[in-house]
């Protein structure tokens, strides 16, 4: 803690702003957005990472459900058809907007550390990190939050019963769905891991342990039973009774520390989303324990003081990277679970702080990250999922869900069909030790019983006088950079299809490198950025799987687009 406060103090000196620690802790969970009445009629839309999931949501809307019912159906269907990326064994964040009264809230369905978790649980007796301990096996799994969110969404916001909105997912789990290329590639990539869990091997591999052919039916009968228990008993069908007992037995048999009480005590927490402004646009995004909204607003506030339209494109990209660098550095130094740590959120998302940050940016020169006091780090991009929904009544959902890495730990708990997450790796297992995404953290994000690990997931709404965007993406630590680029693209007038396609150039403070996608930077921009002192590397694969809905208020036109890097589908109905 002491180290952190010193760093925080040093940061304030760098930023030339007073050090105070205001927090949002006392403010109500809800907030009211500007009502958008008397607008032309518009259609509903769903964009998600796989067509069967978008269709599951559409089924709910056709049955008289609203965006929140569709969010349950889409999430539950993704848990079945995109098991690499999210599931009942994982968690996430849902950003909600209810049109009738402008009520906005965030459902924090993030995994929590089991009660028996300890700060040093992934360190050896000498205090060194044990290789892969926070990503492999049930000890790496937090207590899941996604099932609780289904129940909460249906009861508090939906029009349909949970048994209705879970119906498509139950059908897909029981009857199966045809194996598609991206899932087949993920199975091939993680085959060794899946072979170690007999239940995962039964679902995802052939009886001989091979990779199934494209089009082979992937059936998950145990998962169908778990979903049915939820359909009839709500959250209790997962966090209590037979399923909870099987989860605890399965996890403990493999060295995990879950208890029945850990499951029974899990609750979704409604939190106030973060709201900011950028050149007249209203930005709404995730609050801690996600770092996404803080970092997005921090970066936008820094950029608001530059005229990005007047500078050449190399300088524009330089400034955007410098804003990313500073926002990610603040993430590493200050952020964690708001129920455990006091955070200077108002400071970090305020204009004075941004002015201080901006004053340390030169127009002609990159600032090396190690000149910003912070912490020390190799990024990888694996998986998570995002979906966006707008219904014809104007209700909106931006949901980002995860099991952390591809297939989480890769272990399916016997008799439950539930793939365990490895989200405990999102904690800082030791100050300064990078996680799998190369992210570093401090005491604020240290492990503690029942604490929620810091996330980068950034579901967001961007609202201007002329229209609205609902969006988000997977991409590990690069999520925040992609959210920033997506916001700027929308505000520059790009369509939903253009935004999801646009090549990306993330920077995450440490490692101090712009790892750009092919085509994101022109040869002249590359030379210009290098001349300013930026380190550049062309990434070996594409970043993200962004799902965007846009709504033009004047014409009522709605667009839904899924990232061409994935196999998703944007549907208008």
> Quick one: 66 or 545, whose CB is closer to ligand DON?
545
CB atoms within 10 A of CB 515: 24
In the complex, least distance from residue 282 CB atom to ligand DON, rounded to whole angstroms:
24
Q: What is the DSSP string of 10-25?
A: HHHHHHTS------ST
> Quick one: 114 or 142, whose CB is closer to ligand DON?
142
Answer yes or no whether residue 382 interacts with ligand DON by CB under 6 A: yes
> Quick one: 348 or 436, whose CB is closer to ligand DON?
436
Among 402, 487, 508, 550, binds ligand DON (CB under 6 A): 402
In the complex, least distance from residue 293 CB atom to ligand DON, rounded to whole angstroms:
13
Among 250, 417, 438, 475, binds ligand DON (CB under 6 A): 475
| Distance, CA of 314 to CA of 359 (rounded, Å) | 19
In the complex, least distance from residue 135 CB atom to ligand DON, rounded to whole angstroms:
11
In this structure, what DSSP letter does residue 31 have?
E
Answer yes or no whether residue 423 interacts with ligand DON by CB under 6 A: yes
For ligand DON (CB under 6 A), the number of binding residues is 15
Active site residues: 384
In this structure, what DSSP letter does residue 369 have?
G
Nearest CA-CA partner of 242 in 44, 436, 413, 113: 413
Stretch that binds ligand DON, among 172-180, 254-262, 338-346, 381-389 (CB under 6 A): 381-389
Answer yes or no whether residue 404 interacts with ligand DON by CB under 6 A: yes
Q: What is the DSSP string of 407-463?
A: TTTSPEETTTTEEPP-GGGGS-SSTT---TTS----GGG---TTPPPPB----EEEE
Is the Cβ–Cβ distance between 117 and 449 less than 8 Å? Answer: yes
Answer yes or no whether residue 434 interacts with ligand DON by CB under 6 A: no
The residues, any chain, with a CB within 8 Å of residue 95's CB and separated by 6 or more, are 104, 106, 273, 284, 285, 286, 396, 397, 398, 399, 459, 460, 461
Residue 258 burial (10 A CB sphere; 0-12, 13-18, 19+): buried
In this structure, what DSSP letter does residue 186 have?
H
In Å, how far are 72, 80, 198, 228, 231 from 166, measured between CA atoms? 7, 11, 26, 8, 7
Nearest CA-CA partner of 1 in 448, 345, 411: 448
Among 222, 426, 489, 512, binds ligand DON (CB under 6 A): 426
In the complex, least distance from residue 390 CB atom to ligand DON, rounded to whole angstroms:
23
Each residue 445-474 as x (binds ligand DON by CB under 6 A) or -, in order, gives ----------xxx----------------x
In the complex, least distance from residue 405 CB atom to ligand DON, rounded to whole angstroms:
7
Among 329, 331, 383, 507, binds ligand DON (CB under 6 A): 383
In the complex, least distance from residue 437 CB atom to ligand DON, rounded to whole angstroms:
7
Answer yes or no whether residue 250 interacts with ligand DON by CB under 6 A: no
The backbone torsions φ and ψ at residue 472, rounded to the nearest 5 degrees and listed phi first, read: 170, 175
Stretch that binds ligand DON, among 207-215, 233-241, 377-385, 520-528 (CB under 6 A): 377-385
Query: Under the rule (CB under 6 A), what is the footprint of ligand DON?
Result: 381-384, 402, 404, 423, 426, 455-457, 474-476, 479
């Amino acid at each position: 803690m002491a180290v952190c406060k010193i760093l925080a103090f040093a940061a304030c000196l760098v930023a030339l702003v007073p050090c105070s620690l205001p927090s949002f802790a006392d403010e109500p969970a809800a907030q009211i957005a500007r009502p958008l009445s008397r607008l032309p009629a518009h259609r509903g839309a769903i964009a998600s990472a796989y067509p069967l999931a978008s269709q599951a949501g559409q089924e709910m809307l056709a049955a008289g459900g609203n965006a929140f019912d569709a969010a349950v159906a889409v999430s539950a269907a993704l848990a079945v058809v995109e098991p690499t990326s999210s599931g009942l064994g994982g968690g996430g964040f849902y950003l909600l907007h209810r049109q009738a009264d402008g009520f906005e809230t965030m459902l924090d369905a993030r995994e929590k550390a089991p009660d028996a978790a300890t700060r040093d649980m992934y360190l050896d007796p000498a205090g060194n990190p044990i290789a892969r301990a926070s990503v492999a096996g049930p000890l790496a799994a937090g207590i899941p939050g996604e099932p609780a969110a289904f129940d909460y969404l249906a009861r508090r916001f939906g029009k349909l019963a949970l048994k209705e909105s879970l119906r498509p997912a139950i059908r897909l789990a029981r009857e199966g769905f045809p194996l598609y290329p991206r899932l087949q590639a993920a199975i091939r990539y993680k085959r060794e891991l899946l072979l170690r869990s007999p239940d995962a091997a039964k679902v995802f591999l052939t009886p001989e342990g091979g990779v199934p052919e494209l089009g082979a039916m992937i059936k998950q009968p145990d998962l169908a039973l778990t979903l049915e228990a939820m359909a009839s008993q709500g959250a209790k069908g997962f966090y209590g009774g037979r399923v909870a007992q099987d989860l605890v037995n399965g996890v403990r048999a493999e060295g995990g520390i879950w208890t029945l009480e850990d499951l029974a005590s899990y609750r979704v927490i409604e939190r106030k989303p973060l709201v900011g402004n950028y050149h007249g646009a209203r930005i709404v995004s995730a609050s801690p324990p996600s770092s996404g909204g803080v970092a997005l607003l921090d970066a936008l506030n820094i950029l608001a003081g530059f005229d990005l339209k007047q500078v050449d494109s190399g300088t524009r990209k330089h400034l955007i990277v410098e804003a990313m660098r500073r926002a990610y550095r603040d993430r590493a130094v200050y952020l964690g679970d708001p129920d455990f740590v006091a955070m200077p959120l108002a400071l970090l998302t305020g204009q004075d702080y941004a002015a201080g940050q901006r004053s340390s940016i030169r127009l002609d020169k990159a600032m090396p990250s190690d000149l910003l006091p912070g912490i020390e780090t190799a990024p990888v991009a694996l998986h998570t999922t995002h979906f966006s929904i707008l219904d014809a009544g104007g209700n909106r959902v931006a949901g980002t869900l995860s099991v952390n890495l591809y297939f989480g730990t890769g272990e399916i708990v016997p008799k439950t069909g539930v793939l365990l997450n490895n989200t405990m790796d999102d904690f800082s297992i030791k100050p300064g030790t990078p996680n799998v995404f190369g992210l570093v953290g401090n005491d604020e994000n240290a492990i503690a019983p029942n604490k929620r690990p810091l996330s980068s997931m950034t579901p967001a709404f961007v609202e201007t006088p002329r229209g609205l965007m609902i969006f988000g993406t997977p991409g590990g630590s690069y999520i925040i950079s992609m959210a920033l680029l997506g916001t700027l693209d929308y505000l520059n007038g790009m369509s939903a299809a253009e935004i999801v396609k646009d090549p990306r150039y993330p920077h995450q403070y440490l490692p101090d490198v712009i790892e750009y996608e092919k085509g994101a930077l022109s040869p002249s921009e590359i030379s210009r950025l290098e001349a300013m002192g930026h380190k550049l590397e062309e990434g070996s694969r594409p970043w993200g799987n962004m799902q965007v809905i846009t709504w033009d208020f004047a014409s009522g036109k709605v667009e839904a687009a899924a990232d061409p890097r994935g196999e998703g589908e944007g549907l208008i109905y």
